[in-house]
Structure 1
């Protein structure tokens, strides 16, 4: 995509948003005029308001479908989606306004604050969830159709990238908005540095900044993997920005491309509707602020899904290299080889009968690409041996955090007990941990319906199980926190979010879940911004 065409796409989206906002103003005036007229002729106010709102909604649908989003072919086929989603937005608006009135006693100011996120949520919901082609009319289907990957993504890649970029921008604006509201509610002075940089560098961020600035010096630092601080250092040298700001730049760019490649692989397997749902669910997940922060999440995930995208396109040397870069960002990247192996078997039309001579004859030179993550990991371990005297320094460093292995059922059960017997903030935090590991288990259960679908889905599900197990079986025994960091580690479970997106799309619950996730994101994000330990 050329810069001019990309820039034109931005202008088109901006103009669409302006038309949506103008339509909202017009329909608000129309609703009010109908209400005034009906009250003037002595109709009951509550009934007048209901009729006015109904007329305003019908007008909104007609104008948005014809003018804003230009759906000229059978536009009324979108009406039920429009009605359900906009009623959900209305309910959300009422809830948030009610909560704001508890702390802002001026109804006008409260509504002025409330209207900004509601307008953004309304635009995104209508743009990408209401006025889109129906599943039956699109040529983008699941993997069972046998259509080639380029054909499936043809004409959808630009839209997917724009959607990913807009989603990241709005997610970041939402975090900024909730942070501003929290400051205003507590009558605190707005610190612009903290709002855009300082808020995003807490806890482990300090380690990455220090490594980016000085390199690895101590054994304890080797618990943090090298590629993200290396990218921070390069960005710092090129842009001359601070190390924290450089980390945020790396995270932002990687976040956009992560959602784009996530959308690509979700589109190939489940279609564009599930892809959009997955992107929204991931971006507004309650701990998704880590994608914006000075943390490895964005960079690690973009390497993961890009590696899988290339493997799906039969580009295994590129996939192997990307999986290697993921491994140098987070050690769990090495498990991507599980997906790459099954993708290789699928492309070579091979089964699991490796004990037969026919199986071995089908191998080609691309199979060596699968060894790249292990090779890169081995080279890094040699570097650690020279630096610290330990090949497995990253495991030795974990002793500083008193981590040890404990089976999933034990961590899950003991976390439930701690939550039940705790109070105050500790109860809320343990509830967050237990809720998220429960959600991850539900993702794995949902994914079971796809296991028999293909080697690809079998490998995705196995990867989900392996990473889920590793992420939830390393309790920190000094704090007796049995699911420590899991609210962050759940962000690695990209197959689970695709399964969740598929289920949400099937029951038409994506907007509601995204709204609930966004509320949780604002709440947990603000706690993280204030230095409270969240994952």
Structure 2
């Protein structure tokens, strides 16, 4: 079933974006995947727009610019390791890695949801995820699919109380994305809530959860040895117009700007709408999912919102897996609503994906 869903969706996405690239005008955004004075349009390169170009450059040349350190190393490192399988072609390697990782994510996510809920809820959840407006990023030259795979592996092991394996998957996730820190919280919460609290039990078993910290520690030590700044992945965020703030202030500033009619790009309204929607769904469905997954799903919203902007939030929300499970479970109760929701969401995805490959900023 999952193979069929993935194949149908992936072929459809390719046809829509490829035909769109032939029919629609492209813009020069100055990036690796766009057209330019000395660059002809290439469909496959267009899948590495914006952040994808930085991942490609890191995979090819390593970390050169200070701003690059905001991009965590596991995805480009994996591309470098696997490139020998594809005649050292970094572009093909990255795209294959993203697509394979996303398929594996869907398979494990389906099994995890089916095990806890039902096959019907699992299918509904997967369909909701695949049709989400920004899911195309999971098969682009981005680290999204790798992070999703490591995240669902973590929760799959947590559901079986295999804390050491969950911690190791978390460690790898922390080498993939900054929001991997949210997984550390989820692992330790799940660990401490799994037995009757006592200092003796903690001392005896804490070693099972400690490896969750390894990934972030390794990257921090690398940055300290090279730049004398173990938190360069945070300080380099300023190069991307991000600064430390509290999520409430960030969200309320967007709401206020909307209420007073301040002129803003359409993307800002879209970012705010999806962010608020996810927060409301999580709060309303708090009893539908495990506490550890709820905490993680909330943190992967609040952490990006703590940078003073909601830019890219529609893409970051892909990691809030609990929301998709909540929506998927509710949609099994309303068959007509789910068809309408999936159709509308898929149509928006087609529009956004086509804009993305023609050079426009989406998320």
TM-score under structure 2 length normalisation: 0.88
Matches within 5 A, 1:87-102: none
In structure 2, the partner of 1:317 is 164
Query: 1:221 & 1:493 partners in 2: Cα distance?
Result: 25
In structure 1, the partner of 2:221 is 382
RCO higher in structure (CA 8 A, sep ≥6): 2
In structure 2, the partner of 1:440 is 278
1:495 and 2:322 aligned: yes
Matches within 5 A, 1:44-83: none
Helix, strand or coil at the partner of 2:142: coil
Counterpart contact for 1:219–1:388, Cα < 8 Å: no
Deviation per CA, 1:7-54: give whole Å up to 9, x if none.
Answer: xxxxxxxxxxxxxxxxxxxxxxxxxxxxxxxxxxxxxxxxxxxxxxxx
Query: 1:443 & 1:341 partners in 2: Cα distance?
Result: 24
1:460 and 2:287 aligned: no
Match for residue 306 of structure 2 among 468, 473, 498? 473
Shift of 1:187: 9.4
Query: 1:218 & 1:181 partners in 2: Cα distance?
Result: 35
Unaligned runs of 5+ in 1: 1-162, 452-456, 476-481
Change (3 A) 1:187 1:295: closer
Matches within 5 A, 1:93-242: 163-183=1-21, 185-186=23-24, 194-195=42-43, 197-242=44-89
Shift of 1:363: 4.8
Match for residue 308 of structure 1 among 140, 155, 159? 155
Helix, strand or coil at the partner of 1:448: coil
Query: 2:41 & 2:161 partners in 1: Cα distance?
Result: 45
Shift of 1:406: 3.0
Coordinate RMSD, CA, aligned: 2.4
Counterpart contact for 1:226–1:329, Cα < 8 Å: yes
In structure 2, the partner of 1:108 is none
Counterpart contact for 1:261–1:306, Cα < 8 Å: yes
1:266 and 2:266 aligned: no
Query: 2:110 & 2:117 partners in 1: Cα distance?
Result: 10
Deviation per CA, 1:106-144: give whole Å up to 9, x if none.
Answer: xxxxxxxxxxxxxxxxxxxxxxxxxxxxxxxxxxxxxxx
Helix, strand or coil at the partner of 1:506: coil
Query: 2:222 & 2:248 partners in 1: Cα distance?
Result: 36
Shift of 1:418: 4.1
Larger helix fraction of residues = 1
Query: 1:488 & 1:300 partners in 2: Cα distance?
Result: 12
Query: 2:269 & 2:12 partners in 1: Cα distance?
Result: 24
Shift of 1:364: 7.8
Helix, strand or coil at the partner of 2:349: helix
In structure 1, the partner of 2:254 is 415
